[in-house]
Structure 1
């Protein structure tokens, strides 16, 4: 699970969506910032398929982060292999 969108935040968003109170009132009751709770509610709606088109769900965001990390690791490996190849090719010509 994402560090940024935890189960606590998901539960708070579900509570805000289920009550007949404003987000500000629910945030005050929970002791969180209204702006933060609004973001959590927005993410909860997106995760349920109710968000704006093109908005990533929590699972999609986590996968994107994982894939970007993997690409960086592979790029670093390729760079090392290229340097090693150049070094070995240079060594053979001597």
Structure 2
């Protein structure tokens, strides 16, 4: 069962640390995805100009 949390509120203790680690991993993955999409956008923009 998931606990409902207020936005911006992290639990303290072990559960809070695990959530923070999960969110940091998710953030890193999203940053990598954004970088790939930026590069793909630039590539296709260059290709469409040819």
What is the TM-score when the length of structure 1 is the normalising length? 0.41
RMSD of equivalent CA atoms: 0.6
Higher alpha-carbon Rg: 1
Q: Which runs of 5+ in 2 are unaligned?
A: 1-11
**Which of 30, 37, 45 in structure 2 is aligned with 1:74?**
30
Question: Which contiguous aligned blocks of 4+ residues in structure 1 show a shift greater than 4 angstroms?
Answer: none
Extract unaligned runs of 5+ from structure 1: 1-55
Query: Aligned residue for 1:92?
Result: 48
More RCO (CA 8 Å, sep 6+)? 1
How many residues get paired? 39
How many angstroms does 1:66 deviate by? 0.2
